[in-house]
Structure 1
Amino acid sequence: MKLTIIQTGDVPLPLRGDFGPYPQMFERMLDGTGESFAYEVVRAHDGEPLPDPATLGGILITGSAAGVYDDLPWLEPLRGFIRDAYAKNTSMLGICFGHQIMADALGGDVRKSEKGWGLGRHAYAVKGRPAFMSGAKETLAVACSHQDQVIVAPKVAEVILASDFTPNAGLMYQNGKALSFQPHPEFADDYTAALAELRRGKAPDALVNEAVASVSKESDSDVVAGYIARFLVAGA
């Protein structure tokens, strides 16, 4: 299927040479699932025009350093694009900032969390099992890097992943064609650790140390990638 990646941010400059851009991370992730995808990238954060969602096979909205509350000229067009895609039942996936802007556009509340930084590999309880997650185990461990959170989920969404730190970590929407996750299944372990180190001085050292150590624990990112691929292919 053809997947349109809506890029909303760039890999931090100090890490860009070693890890490449976000769209390539998603392409590697999805290509590893065994499903067949073709890709196009729209750099929304650079002002590239957003296409008509009705013409798209599927949509993936990436992470970003931006917050949904920021005064940026590309955010309102993106909200309109999300609402249009939802109304037209185009398959749509959001990750991290993508998760947050989808919730924001569709009636949720997104803010900078008082809990501070979420870094490294976190464990999330599975609260719902849509068809593409049939047989999912009780918890899934996936990398994260965020301060903002969906504080209140939209009324049209069901929480399917949750943790004490991130109660609304995974959302499945009522139209069956929209899905979003706060954590990053596309992050490789070395990038997760490097990104946590980059937060040193902004996040407490103890938290950074714990985040770097957490990548030695078992990861379920490949499992979540498989769920995502099945969701996208089923909705195409």
Structure 2
Amino acid sequence: MRRPRLLFLSQFANPGSWNPQIWRRVLGHDDEAAAFEALLDSLGVLDGLDFAGCHAHMGAPLPDDLGAIDAVVLGGSFASVADAYPWQQALQAWLLRWRATGKPLMGICGGHQLMTVTLGGRVERSPAGPEVGSLPVTRTPAGRSHPLFAGFGDEAPFFFGNSDRVVEPSPGATVLATRPNLPAAALDHGGNWVSVQFHPETTCDRMATCWAEIDAARGAAYHFIPGCERMILNYLRLAGVVGTVAA
């Protein structure tokens, strides 16, 4: 019996737009697929999965055999969805194919935004400026009972680092969480698709590193959040690719 196959789609940044040397001190360096694999190992589920990473932002071919994939995570990005780079357009076309399978997808930050526009929602530049730091979310009634937030408090903090925001969710989507400047900080799009504006998958040092080239002072806005990575475990359970495990 084969292990469930989990695909991580990386859309880290447009090629040539970042300095790889800045990332040398953090786990996985600037390879978010490697960092996500380490997260799965820390959660105790890596050995039960067939994990693969695809560096979509670098022009890597997107998997053609969708039947061989059981669940997908779409990572964040320094790029805005408004940039419409060729690799972003290729990702959107692939997402529509994946949507037709009815299989699960979780989008994170830029993934949250790309999923939204792909499904007909709207993203805009945040008029209040970047949302940066270890910040709490406020769950809606739907969010308080949603399995994605199982085990989290009503205003649990997560890592934020975004300049764009979702202002109109995709048609039929349910808002699970908000912030004062984010009317849709987490969404259930239906059809086994969920997305979050924040980063439950990462660490405070990676988030601070994200700002090293942009505005280093903003890195001080992050502090350690114990247990936020359990949301990834919640998604994997929701997706049916892991059972109940200790983490």
TM range (shorter): 0.7 to 0.9
Question: 1:76-225 maps to which residues of 2 (within 5 A)?
Answer: 76-127=89-140, 128=143, 129-134=145-150, 136-175=152-191, 177-200=192-215, 208=218, 212-215=220-223, 218-225=225-232
1:78-121 CA deviation, whole Å, 9 max, x = no partner? 11211221121121111111111001100110121111111121
Corresponding residue of 1:233: 240
Do 2:120 and 2:170's aligned partners in 1 also have CA atoms closer than 8 Å? yes
2:38 aligned with 1:22 = no
SS in 2 for 1:18: coil
Residue number among 65, 74, 78 corresponding to 1:65 in the alignment: 78
The amino acid that maps onto 1:4 is: L
* Superposed displacement of residue 9, structure 1: 1.7
Q: CA RMSD in A?
A: 2.3
Per the normalisation by structure 2, the TM-score is 0.82
Do 2:76 and 2:109's aligned partners in 1 also have CA atoms closer than 8 Å? yes
1:113-136 CA deviation, whole Å, 9 max, x = no partner? 111111121111122132353454
Corresponding residue of 2:87: 74
Do 1:118 and 1:147's aligned partners in 2 also have CA atoms closer than 8 Å? yes
Unaligned runs of 5+ in 1: none
Corresponding residue of 1:33: 43
Per the normalisation by structure 1, the TM-score is 0.85
Unaligned runs of 5+ in 2: none
* Off by >4 Å, runs of 4+ in structure 1: none
Closer/same/farther in 2, CA of residues 219 and 123 from structure 1, 3 Å limit:
farther
Do 1:94 and 1:181's aligned partners in 2 also have CA atoms closer than 8 Å? yes
Do 2:9 and 2:72's aligned partners in 1 also have CA atoms closer than 8 Å? yes
SS in 1 for 2:239: helix
Corresponding residue of 2:20: 13
Q: Distance in 2 between matches of 1:27 and 1:184?
A: 15
Share of identical aligned residues, percent? 24
Closer/same/farther in 2, CA of residues 110 and 12 from structure 1, 3 Å limit:
farther
